Amino acid sequence: MLQNRAQAARFQDFPIINVPAMPDSPSPRLPRQQRDQQPLPERVFRVAVPSPLRRLFDYLAPQSSDVLPQPGCRVMVPFGRRTVVGVVVETADASGHDPGKLKAIETIIDRRPLVSADLWQVYRWAYDYYQHPAGDALSGILPALLRRGADADGDPIEHWQLSTHGHGLPETALSRAKKQQQLLNLLRQQGPLPAAAITAAGIGREIIRALAGKGLIESISVTPQPPQQEAASWLKGTPLPLRDEQQLALAAIQLDSFNTYLLQGETGSGKTEVYLQAIAAVLASGRQALVLIPEINLTPQTLARFRQRFCCDIAVLHSGLTDRERLSAWQRARDGRARIVIGTRSAVFTPLATPGILIVDEEHDASYKQQEGFRYSARDVAVMRGHRESVPVILGSATPALESLANCERGRYQRLVLKERPAGVSLPRWRLIDLRGSGLTAGFSEPLLNAIRATLTAGNQVLVFVNRRGYAPLMLCHDCGWMANCHQCSARLTVHRGQRRLLCHHCETPQPLPHQCPDCHSPNLAFVGQGTERSETVLAELFPEVPVLRVDRDTTRRKDAMEKLVDEVNRGEPCILVGTQMLAKGHHFAKVTLAALLDVDGGLFSADFRATEKMGQLITQVAGRAGREQQAGTVLLQSHLCDHPLITRLTSDGYAAFATDLLAQRRFADLPPWSHLALVRAEAENPQAAEQLLQRLRQEAERLSPPTPALRYLGPLPSAMERRNNRYRFQLSLCADQRRLLHPLLSALCQWLEADKDARHVRWSVDVDPQDML
């Protein structure tokens, strides 16, 4: 069964994929009469409805409509006791169910498919590949208002045109009613016009009413059309003259066919300039560009850069939009009014009238993988989409994901490297500070404090990276050893001293900060370890003469907080920035010449095999913050593992060499990207329930596909965080040398789980290409 060829063909190794078979060609729009003349077999419409089940539901043609819905059109269908919005996925000549029991579609919402046939195939590929129920995936992909049945074509604007009667009228028939004659002439010359254009020509609404009353003109609804502007005039700013290597990269990118390019270059090496010039060429050929960026990078500065260069409509899609704004951006992209679409993860599904290029900036960023529900990777969907739509895909990063580097090695992606920084900017110098046996002041070593002092004295700015927010990651009693734990998770509570509380960073449950030990009542409580809040306090005490600015989720919650902070830093006065990952990404601070990392050793011992890769990316990104303009920068790394081979490799030879070593380790261990991984997670209040379900699932899996060296099972094992939100968590991992061994098996296992009685009491999910193993 699992060797079913059609099924296997859908899951050829990504991204060189045998294109899955097209669904039935769009069903003919036959007038009802004609259908009656030549009796067709009763058509069945297979509809995705919002439901957790991985199956489609069959419906008959609507009774009161003279057109049939095509795949990709929304319909209203009876489902249980409700009527819901569903999407027709395919049509068939017969249903597996008793035709007498099938219900009919109630209404057709869309007269034409929501998206092009190519993009529709990408949607279908995505929910199949990530093993997600179609209805749920599609509702996540579509703007909320469309999910609720809103018109996809945008608000049509009322236009006036000559009626047949008006057309037949002699040209000067109304010469005695001057204004009326003027309007007739206007419409005769210019065709349909909106009322606003008519009044702007000095003809009042009463004239329109008078002619309409005589039946000489009539109103029609016209959907807004893309501007008929010369593409060349969309360029506003002047492109920078490219450096040689930028020129080579741009020239290598073929704009008229699919290929995936990995544009690798340090922060500041000029990748964005290459994107901008590639986009300019795409716009000039009359096509559109889609640019994906991590949420954190979608800053006013990024948008300003696009707006300075292009004067076309740019649709921006991010999580802060209202439903209306989101639908409007979607419509402008779909009908071609928006020539550029910039957005975060889910923007990858935005339809484009004339797709021309797909760009994924910071392609290694974890935010491209959705971590719950429909667990897709926007980067990988983008590559698939470029393939279907025959357009180039550019993945850009200073620290590419190992997956992408491996795809270059396999010859699937073309690697383009930018080595230099713009003239006058040199790469930062690395300095390792060995923490073994050295004294620390709240996490800061003496050499680090000296370097901070020297940098500030020289009039420059300092950036300090701390990997946790809050004051301290642990609170304990000195007398009896009690520790503040979350009651719902197997995790310690983080101390948030300013807010006088303890907070679980996994379930968000707060508790008041105790003044004495709950067990032995001793007042001797201690805070252990460093968070951003504590580093901020310590630095403010040690360097009272400069501002200390903290950047983390707690301080930037308010909408404009980050912008204010960026403005303050850009004034250029000496200051210290303290923060989490947020500091490592996106923002460009010109006067930072020292970047320090307090403690990143954790990345070397984590249970997650991707932790070392993430650590290397983070260190490199933080380092990229130092010395971007005319000043050379220094990067200080405090570590207990200064002679760890990966640390020395990274700091002396750079990320590319580090990544090569990691790739070799992964190959040795048969781990992704050299194999393919999927996790089935299960969680339940009763730990046995979750574990036993996965045990039975493994038996079922082994029955369908016995383990071989090419298909390996591991687990069920407790997740690294065994309990979260009062639920015990387990995972079963499936690892295969080829995707075609994995995907048909996963589909069968999902069916098994959906049908299993006990699985109903367990929350289970499937994660294909998981990024987070914990």
Structure token digits, residue 371: 């971590």
| Residue 428 binds ligand ADP, judged by CB under 6 A | no
CA angle 649, 650, 654 (to 5 degrees): 105
Give the nearest distance from C-beta 391 to ligand ADP in angstroms.
Answer: 21
The H helix count followed by the E strand count for the chain is 24, 32
Is the CB of 579 or the CB of 586 nearer to ligand ADP?
Answer: 586
Structure token digits, residue 711: 């298909």
Give the nearest distance from C-beta 732 to Zn ion in angstroms.
Answer: 24
240 binds, among Zn ion, ligand ADP, none (CB under 5 to 8 A by kind): ligand ADP
Q: Which stretch binds ligand ADP (CB under 6 A): 50-58, 239-247, 636-644, 648-656?
A: 239-247
Q: Footprint of ligand ADP on residues 406-425 (CB under 6 A)?
A: 422
Among residues 428, 369, 360, 366, which one has the least CA distance to residue 397?
Answer: 360
489 binds, among Zn ion, ligand ADP, none (CB under 5 to 8 A by kind): Zn ion
Size of the site for ligand ADP (CB under 6 A): 14
Is the CB of 47 or the CB of 504 nearer to Zn ion?
Answer: 504
Q: Which stretch binds ligand ADP (CB under 6 A): 260-268, 345-353, 575-583, 727-735?
A: 260-268
Q: Are 41 and 94 in contact (CB under 8 A)?
A: yes
Q: Which stretch binds ligand ADP (CB under 6 A): 28-36, 268-276, 439-447, 658-666?
A: 268-276
143 binds, among Zn ion, ligand ADP, none (CB under 5 to 8 A by kind): none
Among residues 455, 369, 310, which one has the least CA distance to residue 126?
Answer: 369
Among 62, 113, 270, 470, binds ligand ADP (CB under 6 A): 270
Kindly report the length of the chain.
774
State the Cα–Cα distance between residues 379 and 413, nearest whole angstrom. Answer: 13
Give the nearest distance from C-beta 661 to ligand ADP in angstroms.
Answer: 24
Among 200, 201, 240, 632, binds ligand ADP (CB under 6 A): 240
Is the CB of 583 or the CB of 694 nearer to ligand ADP?
Answer: 583
Is the CB of 280 or the CB of 517 nearer to Zn ion?
Answer: 517
Is the CB of 291 or the CB of 448 nearer to ligand ADP?
Answer: 291
Q: Which stretch binds ligand ADP (CB under 6 A): 240-248, 551-559, 592-600, 602-610?
A: 240-248
517 binds, among Zn ion, ligand ADP, none (CB under 5 to 8 A by kind): Zn ion
Is the CB of 367 or the CB of 612 nearer to ligand ADP?
Answer: 367
Structure token digits, residue 471: 């004051």
State the Cα–Cα distance between residues 380 and 258, nearest whole angstrom. Answer: 14
267 binds, among Zn ion, ligand ADP, none (CB under 5 to 8 A by kind): ligand ADP
Give the count of beta carbons closer than 10 Å to the beta carbon of residue 472: 22
Distances (CA, A) of 432 to 151, 486, 606, 664: 60, 36, 21, 25
Structure token digits, residue 560: 């404009």
Structure token digits, residue 610: 């991707």
Q: Are 729 and 719 in contact (CB under 8 A)?
A: yes
Residues at the contact surface with Zn ion, assessed by CB under 5 A = 477, 479-480, 482, 486, 488-489, 504, 506-507, 517, 519-520, 522
State the Cα–Cα distance between residues 654 and 269, nearest whole angstrom. Answer: 15
State the Cα–Cα distance between residues 60 and 57, nearest whole angstrom. Answer: 10
| Residue 303 binds ligand ADP, judged by CB under 6 A | no
264 binds, among ligand ADP, Zn ion, none (CB under 5 to 8 A by kind): none
Among 121, 267, 328, 377, binds ligand ADP (CB under 6 A): 267
Q: Are 516 and 525 in contact (CB under 8 A)?
A: yes
Is the CB of 200 or the CB of 417 nearer to ligand ADP?
Answer: 417
State the Cα–Cα distance between residues 668 and 652, nearest whole angstrom. Answer: 24
Q: Which residue has the tokens 């252990």?
A: 528
| Residue 265 binds ligand ADP, judged by CB under 6 A | yes
| Residue 268 binds ligand ADP, judged by CB under 6 A | yes
Give the nearest distance from C-beta 265 to ligand ADP in angstroms.
Answer: 5
Give the nearest distance from C-beta 291 to ligand ADP in angstroms.
Answer: 12
Give the nearest distance from C-beta 283 to ligand ADP in angstroms.
Answer: 18
| Residue 273 binds ligand ADP, judged by CB under 6 A | yes
DSSP 720-741: EEEEETTEEEEEEEEEESSHHH
Q: Provide CB contacts within 8 A for 111, sequence distance 6+.
A: 67, 73
Among 179, 243, 307, 429, binds ligand ADP (CB under 6 A): 243
DSSP 584-641: HSS---TTEEEEEES--GGGGT-SSTTHHHHHHHHHHHHHTTSS-SSS--EEEEEES-
| Residue 617 binds ligand ADP, judged by CB under 6 A | no
State the Cα–Cα distance between residues 645 and 306, nearest whole angstrom. Answer: 41
Among 51, 272, 350, 556, binds ligand ADP (CB under 6 A): 272
State the Cα–Cα distance between residues 376 and 628, nearest whole angstrom. Answer: 34
Q: Provide CB contacts within 8 A for 600, sequence distance 6+.
A: 465, 467, 615, 618, 619, 637, 639
DSSP state of 760: G
* Ramachandran quadrant class, 462 (left: phi over 0; alpha: psi -120 to 50; beta: rest): beta
Is the CB of 585 or the CB of 739 nearer to ligand ADP?
Answer: 585
Structure token digits, residue 429: 């110098």
404 binds, among Zn ion, ligand ADP, none (CB under 5 to 8 A by kind): none
157 binds, among Zn ion, ligand ADP, none (CB under 5 to 8 A by kind): none
Distances (CA, A) of 20 to 54, 432, 725: 18, 52, 40
Q: Are 341 and 333 in contact (CB under 8 A)?
A: yes
Among 27, 121, 246, 455, binds ligand ADP (CB under 6 A): 246
Q: Which stretch binds ligand ADP (CB under 6 A): 264-272, 441-449, 678-686, 687-695?
A: 264-272
Give the count of beta carbons closer than 10 Å to the beta carbon of residue 131: 21
519 binds, among Zn ion, ligand ADP, none (CB under 5 to 8 A by kind): Zn ion
326 binds, among Zn ion, ligand ADP, none (CB under 5 to 8 A by kind): none
Is the CB of 57 or the CB of 527 nearer to Zn ion?
Answer: 527
Is the CB of 242 or the CB of 507 nearer to ligand ADP?
Answer: 242
State the Cα–Cα distance between residues 283 and 577, nearest whole angstrom. Answer: 39
Which amino acid, one-letter code, is at 93?
D
243 binds, among ligand ADP, Zn ion, none (CB under 5 to 8 A by kind): ligand ADP
Among 259, 269, 555, 617, binds ligand ADP (CB under 6 A): 269
Give the nearest distance from C-beta 723 to Zn ion in angstroms.
Answer: 9
Among 271, 375, 469, 681, binds ligand ADP (CB under 6 A): 271
Please report, as ranges, the residues that interact with ligand ADP according to CB under 6 A. Answer: 240-243, 246, 265, 267-273, 422
